[in-house]
Structure 1
């Protein structure tokens, strides 16, 4: 059984003291593919080091996270563009809009989002979307870029059933993580109405640990709790859902 974690910040400082043990726990559980989203240029070397340590298991993205869209965002976007021209990446992400922390940067967040979507199209890559308190603002940008060359993952999907349907209409998969296990997560109320061909599994490690680890550091091994919850909702075996979601990830990331 192969399980794929489509979104994990395994280069994070949170893992500096036990990264090897953390990775081994995941590998022992059959979690053998890890897709690694970028934040900004300050993490680039750590991402490359992680790839070098686990070349058969680590698949890198490049991009500028919306909470890191600051005054120097154009220089950061130049870094993303340069990286794409120099080597292979599997997605442009994570990119999008985050209005939880700072609403004043909405305009430049959307500008950066749109620019990176266009980069993804140029390189025929998927996008991985970060959306927090910003569904309308994200959909506005997606609507302006809609087309067959727009595809990817709506990372950490936490919206309504209607928002899920709209995300799917833009050729996105839904990234399902720890939130589906939360009592107040709400998405568990309609997940079984979403065909599993539209979802991928993720952790967002070290963030958003699933129940019963909520509030603690997340890690890729805990994706097994996400899989268990989804199996209960879909009334499917772990093996069956692991196969479906891993194939979905292969379809998105073209591997």
Structure 2
């Protein structure tokens, strides 16, 4: 039986052509062009607040934020790894409303959205937990629906991607125990495996460079001597 169980074809036939641009916009919530910049802004805001407080002996980037960054980079690397391992094809080209990448399983956008929005909902205390998880679930569902409407994934692809993302989040939370060095270590291992499994594909190499770069950047900035110098510099400028 097809991985789409007839759903993708039915959705493509049902969805009006004029709505496709809207579905393409919804896909952005699981796109690296949104996820990575948001992580960067979050990091800069966290560090900026710490520098403004002038606390020389406290981390500039909270463990909560550092773990979040590591978890997301590890999840992005895991997507590359799983695509290389399964290498399942996408739906027929005539269904595609956009130009997709090569492999169709799992859905990278859906899994990235699950990891990113799920990690945000779990790590930050805005409102109650149920509301945060419901909001994350809604965004992930919209991304999954958009990938079906655009004809680039089967139903099984997006459902499995959600499951992979949830299992990954639970697993890395259990292994990292809230410690950034553990989270970055796990993420780097996944990225290395992605490079090996994909025979050094450009996506895998970029995932590894991003993960290692994030880990090294976090480690260097949080060294006591560097942290104190940064705080002193900011105080002099102010």
TM-score of the alignment, normalized to the shorter chain, above 0.5: no
TM-score by length of 2: 0.27
TM-score by length of 1: 0.25
Question: Greater helix percent: which structure?
Answer: 2
Greater RCO, CA 8 A, separation 6+: 2
- Bigger radius of gyration: 2
